[in-house]
């Protein structure tokens, strides 16, 4: 649904997006992650035809963002990071305006606006001036104006920023409900949100794609660095052998405590949690705790984005020496 190939964009001397390529399949919700200034917003602005790239190619719903810009814009709902709104308009009036700009036929407009207000929970403020609304309401009015023409592709730049935890959950549910019918490109800094909502995450760092992480049912590749922390009661040696016998699991450290509890740290090649727990039981042990560590998106994010920072710090300190 979205195809990006070798996209590059610089602002003056600053390289914002550097040869980025990725694909988003129809119905996917792709989490777009990266530190501030990594090039997420710039990529989104290019995909929504707000600005052109310096080189590379991008298509949205089969249309080229540069040569078929208007077609692309008909297919896309875009919520910019700053959630720009006309503060002098009323909520419903604003949505009526946007739905006309999007080219929705007259007969469908009323229903679409009503539905968007309902979905984004702003119906109770329909006759209020946008300027008088709280941050949370404005955010949702922005989201409603993005969804109002029911576009097949949604590009949302940090849609949950500034919302309280309840509203975040509501917006998250809303986005999750879009899966299947809509293709969503979602940027955010809230990593647990991505794990809950997205089918895949793309980590962007310093203008480049640093990682492509499948989430949901096929998050296997996330387990390469995962460890299992196990607490069990039972005979130390037989427990150890039982765990080691599970394919893809190997015991790194084992401690016998005085209270009779055995503690293991197990390295996993893939998700072996069920297999390990039943192995412990079969070996006559009783399981007290089984916890996975080091496999969260956050761990991966930190690893990727700080590793490169250290590298560049290295390069920068080396450069004067070379000169």
Decide: helix, strand or coil at residue 275. helix
* Token representation of residue 251: 């015991």
Among 49, 204, 211, 228, binds other proteins (CB under 8 A): 49
Report in angstroms how near the CB of residue 145 gets to other proteins at its nearest: 7
Given a contact cutoff of 8 angstroms between Cβ atoms, the answer to whether 298 and 211 are in contact is no
306 makes contact with other proteins (CB under 8 A): no
48 makes contact with other proteins (CB under 8 A): yes
Q: What is the 3-state secondary structure (H, E, C) of 144-192?
A: HHHHCCCCCEEEEECCCCCCCHHHHHHHHHHHHHCECCEEEEEECCCHH
Burial class of 323 by CB neighbour count within 10 A (0 to 12, 13 to 18, 19+) = exposed
55 makes contact with other proteins (CB under 8 A): no
Report in angstroms how near the CB of residue 60 gets to other proteins at its nearest: 11
- Stretch near other proteins under the rule CB under 8 A, chosen from 101-109, 219-227, 245-253, 284-292: 101-109
Give the angle subtended at the CA of 185 by the CAs of 222 and 269, to the nearest 5°: 5
Strand 29-33 with 183-187, pairing: parallel
Given a contact cutoff of 8 angstroms between Cβ atoms, the answer to whether 18 and 206 are in contact is yes
Report in angstroms how near the CB of residue 85 gets to other proteins at its nearest: 7
With respect to other proteins, which residue has the nearer C-beta, 145 or 167?
Answer: 145
Phi then psi for 311, rounded to 5 degrees?
-60, -45
Report in angstroms how near the CB of residue 96 gets to other proteins at its nearest: 9
What is the footprint of other proteins within residues 137-166 (CB under 8 A)?
Answer: 145
Report in angstroms how near the CB of residue 93 gets to other proteins at its nearest: 8
Given a contact cutoff of 8 angstroms between Cβ atoms, the answer to whether 119 and 147 are in contact is yes
With respect to other proteins, which residue has the nearer C-beta, 66 or 294?
Answer: 66
What is the footprint of other proteins within residues 16-35 (CB under 8 A)?
Answer: none
302 makes contact with other proteins (CB under 8 A): no
What is the footprint of other proteins within residues 57-96 (CB under 8 A)?
Answer: 70, 73-74, 76, 78, 80, 82, 84-89, 93
Interacting residues toward other proteins by CB under 8 A: 11, 45, 48-52, 70, 73-74, 76, 78, 80, 82, 84-89, 93, 97-98, 100-103, 145
């Amino acid at each position: 649904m979205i195809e990006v190939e070798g996209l590059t964009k610089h602002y003056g001397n600053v390289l914002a997006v550097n040869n980025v390529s990725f694909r988003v399949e129809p119905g996917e919700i792709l989490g777009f992650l990266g530190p501030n200034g990594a090039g997420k917003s710039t990529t989104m602005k290019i995909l929504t035809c707000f600005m052109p790239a310096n080189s590379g190619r991008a298509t949205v719903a089969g249309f080229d963002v540069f040569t078929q810009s208007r077609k692309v814009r008909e297919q896309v709902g875009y919520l910019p990071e700053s959630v720009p709104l006309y503060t002098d308009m009323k909520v419903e009036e604003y949505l009526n305006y946007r739905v006309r700009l999007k080219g929705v036929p007259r007969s469908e407009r009323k229903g679409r606006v009503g539905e968007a207000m309902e979905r984004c929970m702003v119906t109770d403020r329909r006759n209020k001036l946008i300027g008088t609304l709280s941050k949370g309401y404005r955010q949702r009015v922005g989201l409603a104006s993005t969804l109002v023409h029911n576009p097949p592709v949604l590009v949302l730049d940090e849609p949950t920023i500034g919302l309280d935890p309840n509203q975040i959950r509501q917006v998250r549910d809303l986005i999750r409900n879009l899966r299947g019918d809509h293709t969503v490109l979602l940027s955010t800094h809230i990593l647990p949100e991505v794990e809950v909502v997205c089918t895949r995450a793309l980590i962007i760092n310093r203008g480049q794609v640093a990682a492509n992480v499948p989430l949901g049912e096929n998050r296997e590749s996330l387990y390469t660095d995962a460890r299992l922390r196990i607490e069990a009661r039972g005979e130390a040696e037989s427990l150890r052998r039982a765990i080691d016998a599970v394919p893809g699991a190997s015991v790194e450290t084992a401690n016998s405590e005085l209270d009779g509890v055995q503690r293991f740290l197990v390295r996993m090649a893939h998700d072996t949690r069920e297999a390990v727990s039943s192995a412990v039981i079969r070996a006559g042990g009783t399981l007290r705790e089984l916890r996975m560590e080091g496999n969260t998106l956050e761990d991966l994010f930190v690893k990727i984005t700080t590793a490169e920072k250290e590298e560049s710090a290295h390069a920068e300190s080396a450069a004067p020496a070379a000169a």
